[in-house]
Amino acid sequence: MTFAMAGLLSEESVYTRAQVPLLGDIPVIGALFSHTTHTREESELMIFVTPKLVRPLAPDEVPPPPGAFETTTRTTLSSTGSASTTAPVRTWQPSGAVGAER
C-alpha cells in the first residue's frame, strides 16, 4: 500500500512588457508600439511512501552506524603553519540491548 506523505505547490507569474523606445511611452497610441506577455507556471512536488515489513535482526547481525569505530582527530594549524593533532574527537560504544525481539 502506497500513501502520499507530503506535497508542495509552487506558482509563479511573470509579466513582461517590451516596447519601442519613446513611441511605447506615448499615451493611447503607445499600445501600438508595445507588447505585454504574461507567463504563469505551476509546479507540484509529491512524496509517496511504500512501507515494507522486514524481519528483525539478531543482535549479532546489527551493523554499526557509519563511521562508528573510526578514530577522528582534530588537526589545527597555528599561525606559523605547523600542524598539531589532539586526542580522538569521538568514539561509539553500544549502550544497552541491540536488536529487536518479537
Going from N- to C-terminal start, the domains of the chain cover: 3-52+66-88
Q: Which three cell numbers stand for residue 54?
A: 522486514
Output the average pLDDT for the chain. Answer: 78
pLDDT at position 79, please? Answer: 55
**Averaged pLDDT, 27-37:** 92
Mean per-residue pLDDT, 53-76: 72
Q: Tell which residue, 13, 3, 15, has the closest CA to residue 43.
A: 13
The DSSP secondary structure of 2-26, one letter per residue, reads -EEEEEEEEEEEEEEEEE-TTGGGS
Answer whether 69's CB lies under 8 Å from 91's CB: yes
Closest residue by Cα to residue 83 from 91, 74, 70: 74
What's the pLDDT band for 4 if we cut at 50, 70, 90? confident
- CA 74, chain centre distance (Å): 28
**Residue 11, CA distances (Å) to 17, 40, 60 in order:** 20, 7, 51
**Length of the chain as a residue count:** 102
For residue 66, the 8-state DSSP code is: T
Considering the entire predicted model, what is its pTM? 0.37
